[in-house]
Chains A and B, each alone.
Chain A
Amino acid sequence: MSTIDSERDDEKTAPIEEALGRIGERISEAEAASEICECRQGMFALAATRRQLFGGAGLVAAAGMTAMMPRTGAAKAPPGAVEYPVPADSTKEQGRMMGEDGGYGARSQFESEVRWANPTRTASFTPLQNGYGVITPSGLHYERHHGGIPNIDPARHRLVLHGLVDRPMKYSLADLKRFPTVSRTYFMECSGTTGSEIMKAREPTVQRTHGLVSTSEWTGVPLSTLLRQTGLKPGAAWVLAEGADAAVMTRSVPIDKCLSDALVVFAQNGEAIRPEQGYPMRLFLPGWEGNISIKWLRRLEVSDKPYYTREETSKYTDLITKTGKARMFTFTMEAKSVITFPSGEMKLPGAGFYEITGLAWSGRGKIAHVEVSSDGGKNWSLAALQDPVLPICQTRFRFPWIWDGTPAIIQSRATDETGYSQPTHQQLIEERGPLESGSLFYHMNAIQSWAIEPDGSVKNVHPLG
């Protein structure tokens, strides 16, 4: 096992990189024994993340030791962090003055979780494996862009509301903020999430299988408030929403949704929404596929029919290969859950107690219960749900588990308040037909399986082999 005795940063990072390269490798019993020890020492006392703790033997030591070592020089800080020197004894000198951060805080230089971007750089995935609670930090909220991230000056941005209305209006960000607002904590999920997993296990980590889902507190104005101001003409049945990005992203929304819980939001987790989330304002349609919550919202046009835009015909329609017909306007994200710990590419240091934890959510309302299985779905037990269980919001579940060191397959199954339960892969394929090009399998909410091998390594496995 690697240990660190140098004070130089480049030498310190080398064992981490070496250990990262060893993820998934089998390790010797001697190594496993020392790993248990190191893990227990490091589990809570040190500034190592779970991935570092469970990622591999060398990594555990590297991460743990790094946190304790004097840190000199100006090594490159992780994104969102600032590198500061680490004193040998933090009690023997004054810490840095407040305000050195310019008044906007940064995370610890020892934390390095980041979104993972797909090779085409059109989507990035939330690191669910190291998330806590249900709120996704704004900087880790998943992204899906169709024309990049536009840089919009809010002073010049206007939202135009027109079409079958009595009074066409335009609103600046300042105008919008004068209306009565609401704040709601909602999940948002891309309809393509997990689609690539329908036929076989393809992605190694929960970040890559399920990371196109995130939860934030969103603040904005109910769209119904704006529509009350403009009035609606007879025949108003749909609202076209359009973004100010290079794709001029456009979707048609049924008027019922616009008059119920639809929001035009300008804040996320207590501050302005991030540019990649639609700054200065976006549509938010709770419980519906993320794509329809148009970002950088510049226009809402009330009409008597949908527009059949590219994003609701060519894409974001669900081809049922069993029949050759495609489902259109499939808005709702149905009940789904996933175990985030332990999950793919982690490594349990040995038999013993673990708290299995994960997230469950449903676009139809509250999560009613989550069941956990550790034998591949033969037996199920109820998990504890973290209060408060909010509608259309991720719910954290936890399940105490003693691993006996033998092979196990852990799964979670969510049921929402409508009584709908997550299906299996087999059920989804029987219902909709097989689809090899899995990224097109929208609304894939099958029960996820993680296999735990005798050496403690955790792998993504598929029930159909």
Chain B
Amino acid sequence: MCTRSADRPTSRQMAGVLTASVLSLLAAQAVAHAQGYPTRFEFGSPATEQEISAVAIAIPADGAGLPPGSGDYARGKAVYETQCAACHGTDLMGMAGLPNMPAGAQLRLIGGRGTLASKNPVMTVESYWPYATTLFDYVRRAMPFASPGSLTADEIYAVSAYILAEAKIIDKSMVLDSQTLPRVEMPNRHGFVPDPRPEMFK
């Protein structure tokens, strides 16, 4: 391994470094005789509100940032059948044997309540997902698989309503929007615990 002195740049190297003004606090330990690194840098440029809002699409559990719009079961059924059923199945149970796609069980959206404490758990939106906002967020960012990010806010609210109603989590008459979606209580909301590791093996 290198010794401390071997880490020291030559004076010529140092001159180049100083000229380029790229001193770093992190390397200061190895070049204690240098002038030191600035605490902050002026690289990059300020991000405008417009630039931020163009990419800031994440929805937290309290629903902050959910877009305007709304949707219900009936509209969602139509969206689902044209956009989702090919992989997730018309019965929402997942299509098996699709080429280059996860196994059918991983495409399943509903069912599985009461199976988590078994060696064959069925983990779905219905049985496992703790927040309804995550469903909206994920569909908006990554679905449908063939054309991710293509659904309108109304369509995402609607298809979320369809899936949650088929999962018997909400009523078929419920309209989802930025106010109602975060209030949906998911069955496995309290099914998560912090990481206890390292485990104490017997």
Contacts and interface: CB of A to CB of B under 8 A. Distances in A.
Contact of A175 (B43, B52, B130, B193): B43
B148 A246 contact: yes
Q: How many B residues touch the partner, as a band?
A: 35 or more
B56 A299 contact: yes
6 contacts: A167-B46, A168-B47, A178-B43, A242-B58, A328-B192, A437-B120
B69 to A, nearest CB: 19
Interface string A176-198: 10111110000000000000000
B92 to A, nearest CB: 15
A321 interface: yes
A160 B1 contact: no
Given A180-B22, A246-B148, A420-B198, A328 B193 contact: yes
A242 B55 contact: yes
B59 interface: yes
B46 A319 contact: no
A313 interface: yes
Contacts of A303: 60
Contact of A308 (B1, B60, B193): B60
Of the four ranges (under 10, 10 to 19, 20 to 34, 35 or more), the interface on chain A belongs to 35 or more
Contact of B51 (A170, A246, A323): A170
Contacts of B193: 320, 325-328
Interface string A242-266: 1000111010000000000000000
Interface of A: 120-122, 146-147, 158, 160-162, 167-172, 175-176, 178-182, 222, 225, 228-229, 240, 242, 246-248, 250, 298-299, 301, 303, 305-310, 313-314, 317-332, 334, 388, 418, 420, 423, 427, 430-431, 433-437, 440, 443
B198 A418 contact: yes
A246 B51 CA distance: 19
A179 B24 contact: yes
A121 B199 CA distance: 33
Contact of A435 (B27, B47, B56, B119): B119
Nearest to B100: A121
B16 interface: no
Given A175-B43, A305-B60, A330-B195, A147 B129 contact: no
Given A423-B199, A436-B120, A314 B129 contact: yes
A307 B131 CA distance: 10
Given A171-B43, A325-B116, 16 more contacts: A162-B47, A162-B52, A170-B51, A301-B56, A310-B137, A314-B129, A314-B138, A321-B116, A321-B117, A325-B192, A327-B197, A328-B193, A334-B197, A423-B201, A431-B199, A436-B119
Interface string B26-61: 110000000001011101111100011001111111
A322 B117 contact: yes
A313 B130 contact: yes
Q: Report the 3 A-B pairs with minimum CB-CB distance, sorted nearest first.
A: A180-B24, A324-B117, A248-B141
B107 to A, nearest CB: 11
Contacts of B45: 169-170, 175
B26 A182 contact: yes
A400 B138 CA distance: 51
B201 A427 contact: yes
B101 A120 contact: yes
Contacts of B4: none
Interface string B60-100: 11000000000000000000000000000000000000001
A160 B119 contact: no
Contact of A314 (B44, B52, B134): B134
